[in-house]
Structure 1
């Protein structure tokens, strides 16, 4: 993919991962790995995969929402999905689950549900096999993400089920870089001068 394809919006990055470059300048996105649920000429929407909340657990969310959970469920953290609409919840999950209300199937491997019923299914133990619950999302207006890509704020790599669901949060950024053959230590947050 060339910078001109990205800048012109010719490439649909839906279903890809964005990897934050060092020195981005926004600590909310420092070392972030974002799954892009939607990308078009109208903008983009994604979910940060590797920033678990230290304050919100799924168990606490179940209690707050009045969801009865099976014993032992709910110990997983709820992730910071991004700075937009932080009171709104999303679950990125495998395609083996479909909500009765609304599920967006992003591609052959991933879906996103933003309705309460997915949490109810997870609490009962009959939800998706793989999932990440989060509050908030990352959003870009028309052309905004393309501009950030042209400024080398993000790298793009394919999303795999193992990287998204099978890699520890603290290791996702490095693993995503590794998938591109890039060593994290080789990246610098400062631009060079000729």
Structure 2
């Protein structure tokens, strides 16, 4: 493995190159939350779980919820830790176990934020995600060097205001 020096992809979208054969990542937009010498962590933000709703997830977790979560979409963040529950969200950022990704974005995976979301007391903007995408040391650097991904800065509009089916195309328009 070659030691490539790349800038951190934290705070960037990784966009699957057109025609990527890997079904886990074909036509995906991945929000990168960490990238350093130890590896990288990101979350696919344009794949909705085909069956699971917010109500079912909160029931499975034993979290009391109101009707606002009945049809809440749950996203599939990647093939790593598929049962792990994560929240990408806007302010406030005072939840337990939060990682700041950008001035306007954090990643949390603590019960307190889920309990707040379940009763409409959480952040105004959020995505609940199962699983993540992970890369070992230098793995993402090598993939970037081999042009396996396109990149652009993360966008609050794409994350929280763009419909799931349009996120990939809208992110691609940021590049071209």
TM over 0.5: same fold?
Answer: yes
Deviations 1:62-98 (A, max 9, x none): 1111211122324112111100010111000013242
1:22 aligns with 2:18: yes
1:109 corresponds to: 104
Partners of 1:180 and 1:95 in 2: CA distance:
27
The answer on whether the counterparts of 2:4 and 2:142 sit within 8 Å (CA) in structure 1 is no
Aligned partner (choices 146, 153, 163) of residue 151 of structure 1: 146
- Find the counterpart in structure 2 of residue 120 from structure 1: 115
In the superposition, the TM-score normalised over structure 2's length comes to 0.94
Aligned-pair RMSD on alpha carbons? 1.2
Distance 2:67 2:29 in 1: 31
Check if 1:171 corresponds to 2:163: no
Larger mean Cα displacement after TM superposition, 152-161 or 65-74: 65-74
Q: Provide the rounded CA distance (Å) in 2 between the counterparts of 1:56 and 1:9.
A: 40
Write the distance in 1 (CA, Å) between the matches of 2:5 and 2:57: 38
Asked if residue 59 in structure 1 is aligned to residue 40 in structure 2, the reply is no
Aligned twin of 2:175? 180
Instruction: Look up the match of 2:136.
Output: 141
Asked if 2 retains the 8 angstrom alpha-carbon contact of 1:74 and 1:123, the reply is no
C-alpha separation between the residues in 1 aligned to 2:145 and 2:78?
21
Choose the corresponding residue for 2:85, options 83, 89, 95.
89
Check conservation: 2:65, 2:118, Cα contact below 8 A: yes
Unmatched segments (≥5 aa) in structure 2: none
CA contact (8 A) 1:44 1:141 kept: yes
Aligned to 1:3: none
5+ long unaligned stretches in structure 1: 1-6, 182-194
Pair 1:71-2:67 in alignment: yes
Measure, in 2, the Cα distance between the counterparts of 1:116 and 1:72. Answer: 18
**Are 1:34 and 2:26 counterparts?**
no
Q: CA deviation at 1:27?
A: 0.5
